[in-house]
Structure formats: C-alpha cells, structure tokens
Structure 1
Amino acid sequence: MTYSPRTYRITVSTLFFMAGLCFSSWASRIATIQQSLGLNEAGLGAVLFALPVGLMLSLPLSGWAVSKIGSRKVLAASLTLYGLMLVCLGLANSVTLLIVCLIFFGMASNAVNISVNTQAVATENLYPKPIMASFHGLWSLAGFVGAGIGTFMIGNNVATLTHFLIIGGIVLVAVGICWAFLHDDNGKSERGPAFVKPDKFLITLGAIAFCSMIIEGAMFDWSTIYFKKIVGAEKGWIGAGYTAGMCAMASGRFVADWFSHKFGLKRTLQISGLLSLSGCMIAVIFPILIPAMLGFLLIGAGISSVVPMVYSAAGKSETMQPGPAIAAVSTISFTGFLIGPPMIGFIAEASNLKISFLFLAAMAVCVIVFTTRAKI
C-alpha cells in the first residue's frame, strides 16, 4: 500500500528518533554500569571497544541484507534487536556478558543505520527538496532527550534495568506502529546489483565523510580534555565545548536541508569544511573559555551536515543499490570515526594537544579539497 510523502516522513523520522534514544540511553548509564561491575578506566575502555567491533562486523552484512530482503524488514528486525539488546545490557552482570551484548548492540546499531538511511533516501525522493539532514537532526535531538531521561533516572535512583526496560518497550511499540507505514521495497531495485566495486563517486563521498568523522570522533572524545588541559576551564565549564558542539550539530542539521536546496550540495559541503577549519583554528589560537566555546560551536556546525548530505548523495548512486551504496560510504566514513580519537592521542603524546587539533584543521581542509574536486 502506498501512503502520502508526509506519512512516510513522519514514520522514518520516528524511527530515527527511536534509534537515537536507544543509543543515548545506553550512553547515559555507562558510568553506572562501570561502577556496578567495578571496572577501572582501562577496563571500561577495553569493554567499550566491543561496540565498534560489532559495528564493523555488520557493515557488509547490513548492505547485503537491505539489498536482498529490503530496508523495511531489516529496519524492523534490527531496531527490535536494538531495543532488546538495550535491555540485555541492563541485565549483564559480568564483564563477559557485557562484551557479548555490546557486540550485538553494535551490530544492531549499524543495521539500523544502513536500513533507516535507505528508507530516508526513498522518502527524500518523494520531495522536491532535500530533507535528509532533518532526519539526522532528530537522531541528535533524541540524544539530548535520552541524556535528560538518563539524568532523571539516575537522580531518582531508578535501576539501570528498569530504565532500559522502559526505553526498550517504547522502541518496540514504535516499531510495531510504524511497520505498516514504511516503504515496502522488498529488496527490489532497478539500480544495479547489490555488490560491485564502489566507483570513484562513492569513494570520494566516503573520503569526505571520513575526514569529517575524524573531526567528529575527536570532538566527542577529546573536547572535555581540551577544555580542562588547554583552556584551563573550571570544573563546571570543562564540558562547555562538548555542549556547544553538540547543540550546533543538532541545530545545524535542521537548517542544512534548506541550505543545500538553496546553494547546492557542493557549496554546502565546502562551507561545512570551512566552518570546521575556522572552529579548529579559533580553539587553537585562542585557548580561552569564550573563544574556545565559539570554536567548538563552529566545529559542531561544520560537521553537522556532512554525513547526512553524503548518505543522501550515496543513496542516489547510479551504479549500486541504495543500501549497499550507503554501507560502502559508511564503512569508509566510520573508519575515520574509529581512528580519529586515538590519532589525536598519539599526536598529543608526541607533541601536545594543541598540535593535535591542528591535525583536525588539516582534515577540515581535506573536506574542502575533496568536495571541490568531486563531481557532485
């Protein structure tokens, strides 16, 4: 059955929000789980590595599954698994169980990412202007909501399992309601086979996202450390850079579609790189609270539109089906998200943290250069 574009948009938006709520709920209770299992920082870091392992394991499988059985079925199954694995994380009473659950949680997360973006591309094709970034904006908004719910649960001494049962239940209900209103693609596509070597266009898109994701990963993991050690912020302000960046990232995604429609994809990505470059340079040259906050605000604005714009373009590939095309670009870009934070650590150890942020500025320059040379 076919529905109106608005119905599809509301449905896909809801599931983007559920995916963000699921992940942020887990993130909000990491410290609680660390304490309950008696993990030190090194132990926690080792355990958390299970999440990207699961993500990487599922990358090729997710694209194949979307092409064979359709993004609708994959999205419903993977988001259901995502909610169930969140509950399992609340049940995990040993490090071994936690690692196993995190691997499956990561696998489900990536399958949701590929399939929901494939649904988003199909929905965007029904509109005369871009809408992809707004979907990702709802994922970011869900991050704030999930963090707020987590803070409330912790403040009221609600057990982690109870918290995760509530969120998991909401996710499962949402899947049940939205199932009938998703694009019923059944894995059928007229745009090429499921598996072919990504062409130059997709590789270039992946390279643009790779550089931007290095910046994004570093901002997530190193912003508070930068404000503590370089900016010298007081205890209550060490999270100011992270907050500024996240707020700008979420807000930027709600205006990126309008900007892209008005000025084009190439100009949008070029300006995104320029904003990230400016933010990195301000944070390095003026390591003072207010200028540094402005710098991280610009970084957040710069990285906000890159991934959704790149996914949107990949989903319109003429050589690969949308699911595998998005999976190919996601594989390249996610590698940047993984290697970014440790690279910052290595550079900081060899020199200092300010120099490492100049490396992020270089990645922003690469976003501009790759975009300028790309035929998009």
Structure 2
Amino acid sequence: MFDATADFKKIVLTELPLIDVRAPIEYEKGAFLNSVNLPIMNDEERRLVGICYKEKGNEEAVNLGNKLISGSLKDQRIKDWTDFLAKHPQALIYCFRGGQRSRISQKWIYEATGQPTLRLDGGYKAFRNFLIDALAPDNISSSPLVLTGYTGSGKTDLLLEFDATVDLEGLANHRGSSFGNQVNTQPTQINFENNLAYRVIQHSSKAYKYMLLEDEGRNIGRSYIPKELHAYFKLGELVLVHVDFDIRLENIFDEYVIKSQLEYEKASMEGCGLDKWASVISNSLAKIKKRLGGECYARASKAFEDALLSQKNTGDLTLHMVWAGILLKEYYDPMYKYQIDNKRENIVFEGNTAEVREYLNEKSSLYL
C-alpha cells in the first residue's frame, strides 16, 4: 500500500500530476512540471526538525515532527492532499529522497481514505538525476536542425508551426535578446533544465529524425543551456531565413513595443504598465551601452525618450520605430552578419520564409 515507482519516463510522457511534500523553500529552488507544493512541514517546522535530527538523531526528529504536525494542522494537510488526489487520482507523491516525508504522507492518506498512493522511488533527487541524464547529448537520438537569421525574422513563430520544435525561448520565458524580458519572471535554472528535459524526452519518444531549434547563445536571459547540450546544438545543420529589413522592423515593433506594452498593461494591477515597460527598455539600452558606442547609444536613447513622450501626449506609438530601427540596423544586423558569416559552411539551406517553411516541413516529417 506504500509502494514506490521509478518509471520516470512514463511520468514525463504522460505528464502525471505530482504532489511535492517538501517545504516551500525547497520547492521554490526547483520542482517538476505538473507538480504542486503541498508540504508536510512548512519552512519553520522543517528547520526545527532538522536541528533536532542533527542534535538528537532520527527517532527524536520524527517524534518532534509528529508533535508539531498534529491535531487540526495534520487534518488540514491531509485534506489538502486528499482534495488534490480526488481531482487527480493518478498523482504521485515525492519528497527529497523518497524517504520519511513521502512515506509518512502515504501512511496518513491511507489512514484517512483507505486508498493507496504511489511515491517517487528516490524522490526529487532521483527524478532530477534522470532528467539531467536526458540532456546528455549521447542520450538524444535526433539531430539538431537550427534555424538562424537576422533579428526580427520571425524565427520563433515559424518554428512553432512544427511539432518537432523544441522552443528554447518559450521554456526560458524570454525572447532571447537584450530586450527579451517578459512580464512574468523566468524560471529558476533548475526548473528550466527540468522542463527542457521533459520536452527533449517527449521529442525523443516520437522518433523524429531532427530536433528543430532556434539559433541561440548559451544564455537566454538568465537561463542557460547546459554546456555540453549547447555544444551539441551548435553542431547542427543550419537553415538561414531571409526577411527584408522593413518587415523585420515591423516584427520588432510589434513584439517589443505593441505586444510587450499590452503584457505590462495586463499586469498593471501588480504595479506594472507603461512606465514599467519604459523602465525595462531604458535599462536594456543601458546594458548594451558599451557595445552600442556612445554616439549610437545617445541617438537611440533620445529617440526612445521622444517616442515615449509622444505616446504619452498623443497615444501614437509610431515613433518607437525610430529607436527600434537604430538598434536593428546599427547593432543587431552587424552582429548577426558576423555570426552568420562565420557559420556559412554549416548552412544547408537558405531562402525566404515560404521556402524555409517548405524545407522545414519536409525535414520535420522524417523519422528515425
């Protein structure tokens, strides 16, 4: 009745719900997709039990835990678990090593309901190691096929048309450039890796010949791709999409101004809005000041300030095209030209969006 499972692959492929009974401070550092934190001990209770364990041993620590979590408090925590299990009867329980906390949770649930639950054998640590192993290049069967192109080429939107894509920017919750911050914060590094591993395992299960990816640096905002995995992605064949400057500028304007402002406006109840968006853009400009050069930075900053003032006075956003155009033409394009020229020998196909779409469609339909 207190069984455990180590079928981690099944958990990933079916995205089974998980009950994490660790303390909130542990959960916040890293957890798993589809998990919910319903702790058996809160942070303070865990701290006290930990001190007792170090000073007096396991038996006394367990006794203290039972004393701290008793009566109505124990009843409430059992109710939290059973309410979740009523909605998600296949849910599994885990703690850090699959030991006492998850076993005690299983016991209490069984005593309250008569229903057995499964726990993760080895807990968080064992499942986390399984996911880390999944990101090792030797364990990935498909070959990386990497879409590259100048900023504003619509690479992400194009790749999202195909099931064989692994959306690195989506997993990192970042647009992948100096101005790519989203309203919602990025995941912790551990959660980014865990979620990436989920996607890689699910991709591998479908036996695609190619894994479609966007050309990314190792860092996507504050998230970073594991070193060996990033090196593996860099060995992939490259597909170069060509998009006219005017269209790319429209795309940047739409994404970094119109859509981004809407995101901040929707979050205005949390103290965001236009001023918050403007602060983020201004800070992003300041971060690349040295790379822009003093003169270019001054022009871009002035253009941004003029556009923001115009928007506040008239509601017209079009002047934002000016600073976006400066960045695109004088910062991003030279940088990407240099990078693409250095990768020229790895390019297996290039064309406009329609031509690249057709090529990727053919490649994404191939299986091992």
TM normalised by structure 2 equals 0.23
Structure ranking higher in helix proportion: 1
Per chain length, whose mean CA-contact separation is higher, i.e. which structure has more relative contact order (CA < 8 Å, sep 6+)? 1
Larger radius of gyration: 2
Structure ranking higher in strand proportion: 2
